[in-house]
Structure 1
């Protein structure tokens, strides 16, 4: 799938969406870069080490709407476009099932806090068992899972393909080739915590400067390095559009410090499923395979340039006419 570099400028201008594509397949195949997922999982997060896409799936056609508030707020993580895509997709599905739904875009830390307080009802981009384990260990007993919809997500350290490092461990001796800098994303992002708490200590990279600002700034550093033909090392993740737009590659992770393969889960505020059983079942039925996710993100980021996600979802559903019914009946695969 061809990506256009022109959309990058729109991402920097808009600033609200860091445009992720879909480079991984939605399957149970092993990810490159060295496992380590279960070793990295701990505490409350360890129960989510295995993502089964069909656990809890059931026909929601005749499910009770329940006695809960029919106004449902879905949280989307700023800078994670798969979060935006699924949040607006579920907004559309819920609206067609009689709910009044809206999407609130927040930094990950704020989104988790808002979900525990009920200011946000559901978040759709919880990476487990590693990326968001700290949040689950802190807030897990104040939330409830509503199924895993993608099972091959991955955190990465990426570099320009022409640069010398092949493994993350090479950065200890080759840091100078990358200006002794690792470019990160938002300070509150789960990946930022993984890099600071797990990866940097594991590989002894304390002498490198780890900068955190925004996903847009990280993407800008890749674009700048490519234009100036210099080296760059960044925190990235799959699925993401940057792998198609730029000449970059992942560094091997022999110690599994970035966490290996993960699942992406829905989580709701405690008691949501009991109060809103039909809405909860619709979230449990969500499964978005790789190509379908790519199609939706392409519309959001290329045609609509992040400005009208509702229109992007409407158009996507016209080209995937069976999706809404299959989600409702639990027939997605």
Structure 2
């Protein structure tokens, strides 16, 4: 899958970048590898861009929550997919100290919400507007929830965000926790194969968003007022009558990075990766069994116009 949108975004950024000194190109740049497939994709795309510029790259396994001391010490030089919804206090401390610096947003449109496979819009006219669920809740009913509709929520140990919203919007829909992430995927697969109704709590980036053409229900924008003040939002008697709080996904580096590898710093600062690019690559790895290296290499070859301008602008 080629992603035109990514190419436009990166080309526009590249136009504003001035060529920079390569710096210590004989010394490897160490990039953090965290615990999830999407981050592996993000990091390997960045690494291949650096290699194309003439740098040496090493990938270093590092836990998302405890990587920031190594980053501050210069043992790791950059980490490329930090989620604002899941970042440790240590990060803020290192930023305040000046030992770690933020180097821009990644460009992933991260989102959580109430979702459904695209075919469900035919079974519940009015979607994606949330108000449609008032009239067609029974479409989603099962033996365990009738006469109420059913929402397949996150596994119980992930919290109850779907249930919270069904209560917040006062919808006649019962949230039933999934047993695992795999159970959520099984629900999506079965619904898609049978063209049956399904309402689910889900998130992107995730390969299943593309594989099963998952759409989000349109809800009022999530904010602190909604989460704390019942008077805010369409239901004056409850909180959580809004969407999930938005997440920002961004990049950070060791504070000495820009001085040591100026052109590499320019590349990573201006590097972005879209959901439309990342999700299919995740599917080719997690579903089809491809290696990160092979999947990323194929994407780089097919989408050179999307990333080459950023490398060239920083090095030529």
What residue ranges of structure 1 are gaps of 5+ in the alignment? 2-20, 29-52
- Check conservation: 2:7, 2:307, Cα contact below 8 A: no
Residue by residue, what CA displacement relative to the aligned partner does 1:54-90 show, whole Å, maximum 9, x if unpaired? Answer: 49x63454142399x73513334515x3x33221111
Counterpart residue number, 2:141: 177
Q: Does 1:280 align with 2:237?
A: no
Q: State the SS of the aligned residue for 2:114.
A: strand
- Check conservation: 2:154, 2:201, Cα contact below 8 A: yes
Question: How far does residue 150 in structure 1 lie from its aligned partner after superposition?
Answer: 1.6
Question: How far does residue 284 in structure 1 lie from its aligned partner after superposition?
Answer: 0.5
Match of 1:72 among 24, 30, 47: 30
Q: Does 1:213 align with 2:183?
A: no
Alpha-carbon distance between aligned partners in 1 of 2:213 and 2:20, rounded to the nearest angstrom: 46
Counterpart residue number, 1:99: 56
1:13-52 alignment runs, 5 A limit: none
Match of 1:84 among 30, 36, 40: 40
Root-mean-square deviation (CA, aligned residues, Å) is 4.9
Q: 1:121 to 1:157 in 2, by over 3 A?
A: farther
Scaled by the length of structure 1, the TM-score of the pair is: 0.58
Q: Does 1:245 align with 2:211?
A: yes
Counterpart residue number, 1:114: 67
- Check conservation: 2:81, 2:251, Cα contact below 8 A: yes
Counterpart residue number, 2:80: 124
Counterpart residue number, 1:135: 87
Alpha-carbon distance between aligned partners in 2 of 1:193 and 1:276, rounded to the nearest angstrom: 43
- Check conservation: 2:6, 2:306, Cα contact below 8 A: no
Match of 1:308 among 262, 287, 291: 291
Alpha-carbon distance between aligned partners in 1 of 2:23 and 2:197, rounded to the nearest angstrom: 56
Alpha-carbon distance between aligned partners in 2 of 1:271 and 1:194, rounded to the nearest angstrom: 42
Counterpart residue number, 1:318: 301
Q: 1:183 to 1:306 in 2, by over 3 A?
A: farther
Alpha-carbon distance between aligned partners in 2 of 1:238 and 1:159, rounded to the nearest angstrom: 13
Scaled by the length of structure 2, the TM-score of the pair is: 0.61
Alpha-carbon distance between aligned partners in 2 of 1:323 and 1:116, rounded to the nearest angstrom: 33
| Count of matched residue positions in the alignment of Structure 1 and Structure 2 | 269
Q: 1:298 to 1:152 in 2, by over 3 A?
A: closer
Question: How far does residue 193 in structure 1 lie from its aligned partner after superposition?
Answer: 7.1
Q: 1:231 to 1:321 in 2, by over 3 A?
A: closer
Alpha-carbon distance between aligned partners in 2 of 1:247 and 1:140, rounded to the nearest angstrom: 37
